[in-house]
Amino acid sequence: MKRMTKIAVLVLAMCVMAAGLIFAENAEGDGETAEEPASQTLLTDDSTYLWIGLQYGSSAVDRITVKSSSGFLIVKGNNKGWTETDITTDSTTLTIVPSGGQATVVDENGTTILGGMGNGGYILMSAAEDPEDRLITINGSRYRDGATATVTGGKLNVINVIELEHYVRGVVANEMGYTYPLEALKAQAIAARSYGFMSINKHKNYGFDLCTTQDCQVYRGYVSEHDSTDQACAETEGLVLTYDGKIVETYYYAYSGGATLNSEDVWMNALGYCRGKVDEYYSDYRWAVHYTMDELTQEMVNRGKNIGDVQSVQITKRHSTGAVAEVTFVGTKGSAAITKSTILSALGLKSFMFAINDEQFVWNKDGMATVTDASVSVIGASEQDDGVKSVSVIGADGGVSTVSASDLRISNGTMVSMPQGTVSPGWTDSPVSSDVVYIAGSGWGHGVGMPQTSARNMADLGFNCEQILKYYYEGTEIGNIADFQ
Ligand SMILES: [Zn+2]
Distance 478 CA to ligand 1 centre (A): 25
Distance 209 CA to ligand 1 centre (A): 8
Within 92-171, residue ranges assigned H as helices are: 164-169
Distance 294 CA to ligand 1 centre (A): 34
The answer to whether the CB of 161 falls within 8 A of the CB of 125 is yes
DSSP of 198-233: HTTTTBGGGTBSEESSTTS----GGGG--HHHHHHH
One pLDDT digit (tens) per residue for the chain, 485 residues:
333 333 433 333 333 333 333 333 343 444 444 444 445 568 999 999 999 999 999 999 999 999 999 999 999 999 999 999 988 888 999 999 999 899 999 998 889 999 999 888 999 999 999 999 999 999 999 999 999 999 999 999 999 999 999 999 999 999 999 999 999 999 999 999 999 999 999 999 999 999 999 999 999 999 999 999 999 999 999 999 999 999 999 999 999 988 999 999 999 999 999 999 999 999 888 888 888 999 999 999 999 999 999 998 988 998 888 899 999 999 999 999 999 999 999 999 999 998 887 644 443 333 333 434 333 344 444 554 444 456 666 665 667 777 666 566 655 444 455 554 333 333 334 444 568 887 888 899 999 999 999 999 999 999 999 999 999 999 999 999 999 98
Distance 220 CA to ligand 1 centre (A): 13
Determine the distance from the C-alpha atom of residue 412 to the mean position of all C-alpha atoms in its chain, rounded to a whole number. Answer: 40
Distance 346 CA to ligand 1 centre (A): 22
Distance 362 CA to ligand 1 centre (A): 35
Q: Which residues surround ligand 1, an ion (CB under 5 A)?
A: 211, 215-216
Distance 454 CA to ligand 1 centre (A): 24
Distance 153 CA to ligand 1 centre (A): 20
Distance 473 CA to ligand 1 centre (A): 22
Distance 376 CA to ligand 1 centre (A): 49
Rounded-to-integer distance, Cα 456 and Cα 165, Å: 22
Instruction: Report helix, strand or coil for 296.
Output: helix
Distance 270 CA to ligand 1 centre (A): 21
Q: Are strands 324-331 and 389-394 parallel, antiparallel or unpaired?
A: unpaired
Rounded-to-integer distance, Cα 116 and Cα 272, Å: 42
The answer to whether the CB of 258 falls within 8 A of the CB of 443 is yes
Question: DSSP letter at 13?
Answer: E
